[in-house]
Amino acid sequence: MSSALPTRTSKTPAEGGDGRARTGAPPPGSARPGSVARRRARAGWFFASPALLVVAAVTVFPVLFSLVLSFCEVRLDYGGLRLGSPTLGHYEALLTHPEWYRALAFTLGFTVVSVFAELVLGTLVALVLERLGAARGWILALLLLPWALINVIAAQLWSYLFNGTYGAVGWLCEQLFGTQPDILGEPVPAMAAMVVVDVWKTTPFVAIVVLAGLMLIPGDVYEAAEIDGAGPWTTFWKVTLPQLRPIVAIAVLFRILQAFGIFDLPFVLTQGGPGTATQSVAILGYRILFQNLDFGGGAAVAVTTAVIVMGCCLLFLRVFRAHVDEEGRA
Amino acid sequence: MSLRRRTLLTGALGAAAAGLLTGCGGKDLDDLLTRAAAVPRGPARLTWWVSEIPSRRGGIVADLIIKAFERRHPRISVSKINALSTSDGNRSAIATQLAGGSPQPDVYLGDTTWPAQFGDSSLALPVERLLPDGFWDAYPAALRTGSTHGGQVYAVPFFTDSAYLFYRKDLLAKHGLRLPRSWEELLHTSRTVQRAGDVEAGFLWQAAVTESLTANVTEFLADAGAAVLDGRGRAALGGAAAERAFSLMAEFTGSGVTPGTVATYEESDSQDAFTGGRGLFLRNWSYAWVNASAPGVSHVAGRIGAVPRPGFEGTGRSGVSCAGGWSNFVNPSSQALGAAMEFARFCAGEEVQRLLAREAGVVPAMTSVLTGPEARAAGDPTVLRAADLRLVARPVTPYYPQVSKALYTPANAVVRGDLSPADGVREAREGLRTALEGKAL
């Protein structure tokens, strides 16, 4: 079974940009191919330069600026920011403070639980959708409603449902169990509520991605499995899931990136409370930067978070690729 | 091609460095103050960063003030930038803009807890030298204390928010109960009315992990005679008085007088519960009067009253109110400092203060206006009684957000019953020490 993962195409130094062999002398009959290639490249850079400048302005500059801020003494003076001497103090303050570890633990836990739940539910929903006929379009549109809602609005709607005074969830619990839980006022229910909202909102995204993967699986693979006597359960585990792995990897990567940066849900639902139970690293960074006005410290939170997320994603990809390669050899 | 890539990278780094350096130009304070002292004679344009000011009669209060200013200063035009009404959200937005050296807004409305932090971070112009002699005699002393850091004043008064005890007149009358004079009596009164099934909650207040809880904690501590910081700005929280304040907060939820969900309540949540008829008493800021009295909004309109908060039994004192509210700050990077300062002074002056008493659902900062004809005509008890309140300023320190967090985090745990009052006080004291050393996150 071949992997659908994009394979890296490596070029040797002797190959040109088009992958053809480059030799020391121009091919007979061609006039100065080097200058043509240079002209093409120049034109390419020229046409790409507006986009590159925009990317540099909105991505490269802020990233570089954050890095510089995180490694410098930063003072605010009349007229704006003033950068002082280089320091590792912001990182030292951060990495020796228990609150950062608590925020990291909550963010990691939230990411793992919510992404896993969304993956399982999203796959199940996609399997159902694949088997639907004409109704699929309507159901897809309905499913996408939560995903289409702006995060803050969705969080605000859920905050009404979870509200301890007039919330429908509390009322329902009272009708069913005779007691009204304080959902957002206690650490564990507050964390669970956050996972529920995230799963409600993001499962449709995973379902759509997985559905796209399912539709790409060729029918003859299933026919072959049927001929080999595989039942539905075996077919799912041995045929469907392995074929879905590349697209699932993409969905998981997207979700890890989004879930790790969770800000709007705790900001609207709990303000990071009760205590600091639902304070994510993004909320912590926001507080340090925008409330304490500690620009160096806030930048250090952003940089450490980015490094951790990149590490998680690289690790995931490495494990995933090794797994696929192993299967491919098998 | 590798050379070009290197060139591009160098260019990007150069641009980044240039960008960094442009934000690093310092300015001379004396020069800024000289510019701010002169009101321009030629045309000038100002921008005013202002959140929505509650309206008593439906008018847009900020626009009325701008019109009044432009009538007095026809060559200065003012445009409004709408800001968030929450203190924390507002601070985040304005601080980043000012830290970038933006010349706009020229004047911004900020919380009375901001001056020390904003002054220390050079985000606000020190204005003491730009105010006339005897200026502060017209305003509450707590407002000046809260606006001063390191001997410099960074904010010009605009309006205040004071905490009151709102109550259901009809329910107290039905049960033949008097207004509680102490917290202990309030607990007893609440239980009586709750037991009769007339109301779900006895006392509603704010205990979410936000600035709202810090204001409540500061008031309970002051009621009990405990201080958060000493005269030299060091952590002074502790002792029997502080434990008494924390014990009261725990008792409210422990006894059921306050629902456990108060641990998630901010001002609007508790106000909604009260105006929905779920509570007997409510601690809230003065602006809640307008909403709670509006028949279309409130189920209890016409059946409520507002009095100063009670104190603790045996102390011989009535309760205090946090000195809250909003003041005007001048952006040091403004290109029209003279006009900006003139506008801030105008907002603190008698014309605007009377306008506030007439049109706005807030308490004017100027003491003499509180009993003037406009205030009497409005008949708002939170304005008419404001001069009688004992005000307490929240801690004045450039580390205010960290100090606030050091108070509200353990207090929230005490309210939820996760921490004993004694442990809560101990944790708060430790947190305050860390915060004041600048080591808190």
Q: Which of A166, A276, A292 sits opposite B401 (nearest CB)?
A: A292
The bridge status of strand B107-111 relative to strand B44-51 is parallel
Higher pLDDT, A113 or A30: A113
- pLDDT higher at A114 or B13: A114
B11 part of a folded domain: no
Residue B304 DSSP SS3: strand
Pick B205 or A17 by higher pLDDT.
B205
Give yes or no for residue A2 having a pLDDT over 80.
no
In a domain, A201, yes or no: yes
Q: Is residue A322 part of a domain?
A: yes
Judgement on whether residues B274 and B331 belong to the same structural domain of the protein? no
B394 lies in a domain?
Answer: no
Q: What is the pLDDT of residues A123-164, one digit of tens each?
A: 999 999 998 878 888 888 898 899 999 999 999 999 999 988
Spell out which residues of chain A touch residue B276, defining contact as CB-CB under 8 Å. 165-166
Task: Indicate whether A8 belongs to any domain.
Answer: no
Which residues are registered as beta bridge partners of B152? B149
- Considering the domain architecture, whether residues B288 and B416 belong to the same structural domain is answered as yes
- Cβ–Cβ below 8 Å for B122 and A93: no
The CA distance from A206 to A194, in Å, is 18
Is residue A120 domain-shared with residue A45, that is, in the same domain? no
Residues B212 and B334 in one domain: no
Choose the mutation target among B5, B31, B264 for the interface with A, i.e. most A CBs under 10 Å: B264
pLDDT of B350 over the 70 cut:
yes
pLDDT at A95 over 90: yes
Residues 205-224 on B with a CB inside 8 Å of A are 208-210
Q: Are A56 and A177 part of one and the same domain?
A: no
Q: Are residues B284 and B422 in the same domain?
A: yes
Q: Copy the structure tokens of residue B43.
A: 């045309």
Q: What is the CATH number of the domain that holds A321?
A: 1.10.3720.10
- Looking at the fold, whether A191 and A57 belong to one and the same domain comes out as no
Q: CA-CA-CA-CA torsion for B207, B213, B216, B217, nearest 10 degrees?
A: 100
Same domain, B98 and B202: no
- The answer to whether residues A299 and A272 belong to one domain is yes
pLDDT in tens, B216-270: 999 999 999 999 999 888 999 999 999 999 999 999 999 999 999 999 999 999 9
Residue of A nearest to B408 (CA): A275
Q: What is the mean pLDDT of chain A?
A: 86
A191 and A52 co-located in one domain: no
Q: Rounded CA gap, B410 and B429, in Å?
A: 10
Inside any domain, residue B3: no
**What are B87-130's pLDDT values in tens digits?**
888 998 999 899 888 999 999 999 999 999 999 999 999 999 99
B264 close contact with A: CB closer than 8 A? yes
Kindly state whether residues B357 and B260 are assigned to the same domain: no
Distance (Å) from the alpha carbon of A214 to chain B's nearest alpha carbon: 41
- Phi and psi for B96 in degrees, rounded to 5? -65, -35
SS3 assignment, position A77: strand
Is the Cβ–Cβ distance between A302 and A226 less than 8 Å?
no
> Per the domain annotation, does B212 fall within a domain?
yes
Whether residue A79 and residue B25 make contact (CB cut-off 8 A), yes or no, is yes
CA distance A287 to A41: 46
- Residue A3 has what pLDDT? 38
Q: For position B4, what pLDDT does the model report?
A: 54
On chain B, the residues whose CB falls within 8 A of the CB of A276 are 209, 409
The reply to whether B141 and B171 lie within a common domain is no
Closest CA of chain B from A82, distance in Å? 5
From the list B121, B401, B416, the residue facing A185 with the nearest CB is B416
Q: Tell me whether the omega of the peptide bond preceding residue B332 falls within 30 degrees of 0, making it cis.
A: no
Q: Which residues on B lie below 8 Å from A85 (Cβ)?
A: none
| Same-domain status, B63 and B83 | yes
Chain A residue closest in CA terms to B263: A185
Q: Which residue of A has its CA nearest to B335?
A: A79
Task: Report chain B's C-alpha Rg in angstroms.
Answer: 24
For residues A274 and A171, state if they share a domain. Answer: yes
Flag whether A25 is in a domain.
no
Q: Is the CA virtual torsion A97, A99, A100, A105 positive or negative?
A: positive
Helices B239-254 and B421-436: angle between axes, nearest 10 degrees? 120
E strand segments, B112-183: 148-149, 152-153, 156-161, 163-168
CA distance A62 to A120: 36
pLDDT of residue A324: 64
Cα A252 from Cα A156, distance rounded (Å): 26
* Chain B CB contacts of A16 below 8 Å: none
- The verdict on B43 touching A (C-beta cutoff 8 Å) is no
The domain total for chain B is: 2
Q: How far apart are CA B20 and CA A69, in angstroms?
A: 10
What's residue A246's pLDDT?
87
Instruction: State whether B369 and B222 are in the same domain.
Output: no
Instruction: Tell me the mean pLDDT in the region B369-377.
Output: 93
Whether A194 is in a domain gets the answer: yes
- Same domain, yes or no: A76 and A102: no
Task: State how far the Cα of B309 lies from the Cα of B185, in Å rounded to an integer.
Answer: 12
Which structural domain, as residue segments, surrounds residue B276?
Answer: 163-322+399-436
Q: Which residue of B has its CA nearest to A62?
A: B16
Distances (CA, A) of A205 to A144, A153, A236, B79, B394: 7, 18, 21, 43, 47
Nearest to B26 among A79, A100, A286 (CB): A79
CB contact under 8 A, A65 and B19: yes
Residues B62 and B143 in one domain: yes
For B435, which residue in chain A has the nearest alpha carbon? A292
**Angstrom distance (rounded) from CA A294 to CA A97:** 15
Q: What is the pLDDT of residue A13?
A: 40
Mean pLDDT across the stretch A316-322?
A: 80
Contact B4 A56 (CB under 8 A): no
- B100 and A CB contact within 8 Å: yes
Report helix angle B337-348 to B61-72, nearest 10.
120
How many domains, chain A? 2
Whether residues B25 and A270 touch (CB distance < 8 A) is answered with no
Integer Cα distance of B268 and B212 in angstroms: 10
Nearest CA in chain A to B441: A288
Rounded Cα–Cα distance for residues A305 and A262 (Å):
11
Three-state SS annotation for B26-65:
CCCHHHHHHHHHCCCCCCEEEEEEEECCCECCCCCHHHHH
User: Is residue B23 assigned to a domain?
Assistant: no
Q: What integer pLDDT is reported at residue B316 of this predicted model? A: 84
Contact residues for B289 (Cβ-Cβ < 8 A; gap 6+): B164, B166, B306, B361, B380, B381, B382
- B84 inside 8 A of chain A by CB: no
Is B293's pLDDT higher than 80?
Answer: yes
Which pairing describes strands B201-204 and B279-285: parallel, antiparallel, or unpaired? parallel
Beta partners for residue B30, in sequence order: none
**ipTM associated with this complex:** 0.83
pLDDT (mean) for A75-85: 85
A22 in any annotated domain: no
Question: Is B204 inside any structural domain?
Answer: yes
* A244, A198: one domain: yes
On whether residue A17 sits in a domain, the answer given is no
* B180, pLDDT greater than 70: yes
Question: Residue B211 above 60 pLDDT?
Answer: yes
CATH number for the domain spanning B152: value is: 3.40.190.10
In a domain, A23, yes or no: no
Same domain? For B313 and B330 the reply is no
Average confidence (pLDDT) over A5-27: 42
The token duo for B171 is: 């329910």
Q: Please name which of B346, B318, B316, B341 lies closest in space to residue B330, comparing C-alpha atoms.
A: B341
Same domain? A201 vs A293 = yes
Domain range for A114 is: 91-329
Q: How far apart are CA B334 and CA B44, in angstroms?
A: 12
Residue B129 lies in a domain: yes
DSSP character string of B225-285: T--SB-TTS-B---HHHHHHHHHHHHHHHHTTSS-GGGGG--HHHHHHHHHTT-EEEEEEE
Identify whether residues B405 and B263 lie together within a single domain: yes
The reply to whether B5 falls in a domain is no
